[in-house]
Structure 1
Amino acid sequence: MPLNTGVQLDIVIYSLLAGVIVGSLFDVYRIIRGKDTFKIVIVIEDILFWTLSAVIVFAFLLYNNYAFMGPYVYLFICVGLIIYLKLLSRFIYSFEVFILSSIGKILRISYKNATYPIRFIYYKTTHKE
């Protein structure tokens, strides 16, 4: 039984959106992975990333279109990924770097402020003159 046009349009839209989700996850992964690591670590990280991405996309498609996985679903996931990487990636990547560096800075400052009294007391008790 063929699917009606509204359901097919939903499948295409959610497939494109799944491609965009994979692209944004890939940008986060690029930030976390960095540049200078060992080859074996990169291989393990890649396997873990793509496994996690597959699970996230499957859960997303299962929730939105009952995990209907026809050939054009894969095609539109790839199209959504290409659109994201060509048009949006550089803007989203710089925004993600800004957000993650800001969060890191906030956490670092909070840690230093929270541990200052302990470090001050430790210094005063161990460095008596």
Structure 2
Amino acid sequence: MSLIVEQVYIFFYAVLAGVIIAFLYDVLRIKRRAIKTNVVILSIEDIIYWLLSAIIVFLTVYNSNDGQMRGFIFLGNILGVTLYLSVFSRLVIASSMMIINFIKKVLLFIWKVVTYPFRLIFKILSVPLRFIGGCFGKLGRLLFGLFGKAARKAKGVAIGRLKKVKLWSRFKRKVRKKT
């Protein structure tokens, strides 16, 4: 094979590596649109992406050109990224997000179907339990108020601990008044 044909193949490998790098970036963008994460996870994802990109470029140079760095390899990478982003990126992201949103809707529907009997039992039992809670006053709301507002505030807290909290808040108010 002649030297020019060999370099054309190397250039095409570099273009292909650029397309792969841009596709990986689109996968990262799709993941970020589908799943919201915090800044630390985003930073870790960025580091992983750039490490993968560096490995792809290194493997491309190593396998196609025996590790010899040439300027046209980087031009090929840039051309591959540019071609992918201008031709395929919107299509890949739009179709992927459409598929992901469809899957989310299907899973949400399945979740609603599976939990419907439990929600129905909850609604049926909440009426008599609220009535019983109203009959017993505050103690009834604490004991039977698992479905009410009082339970959300005092869930898992014993009556004795409530008294301690009340005493502590009174003590804090007195200290604030004195200062």
Same fold, judged at TM 0.5 (above): yes
Which residue does 2:84 correspond to in 1? 84
Do 1:27 and 1:89's aligned partners in 2 also have CA atoms closer than 8 Å?
yes
Residue identity opposite 2:92 in structure 1: I
Show CA shifts across 1:44-93 (max 9, x none): 2101111123223433x167514543222112101210121122210122
Report whether the alignment pairs 1:21 with 2:20: yes
Distance 2:58 2:100 in 1: 26
Do 2:13 and 2:64's aligned partners in 1 also have CA atoms closer than 8 Å?
yes
Distance 2:104 2:27 in 1: 14
Which residue does 2:31 correspond to in 1? 32
The CA deviation at 1:105 is: 7.3
Residue identity opposite 2:4 in structure 1: T
Higher-Rg member (1/2): 2
Larger relative CO (CA 8 A, sep 6+): 1 or 2?
A: 1
- Segments of structure 2 that go 5 or more residues without pairing to the other structure are 119-179
How well do the aligned residues superpose, as a CA RMSD in angstroms? 3.7
Name the SS for the 2:37 alignment partner: coil
Do 2:10 and 2:65's aligned partners in 1 also have CA atoms closer than 8 Å?
no
Show CA shifts across 1:16-49 (max 9, x none): 1111111111111111123743333322210111
Q: What TM-score, normalized by structure 2, do the two folds share?
A: 0.49
Name the SS for the 1:37 alignment partner: coil
Which residue does 1:10 correspond to in 2? 9
Report whether the alignment pairs 1:55 with 2:61: no
Which residue does 1:65 correspond to in 2? 64
Do 2:11 and 2:76's aligned partners in 1 also have CA atoms closer than 8 Å?
yes
Residue identity opposite 1:24 in structure 2: F
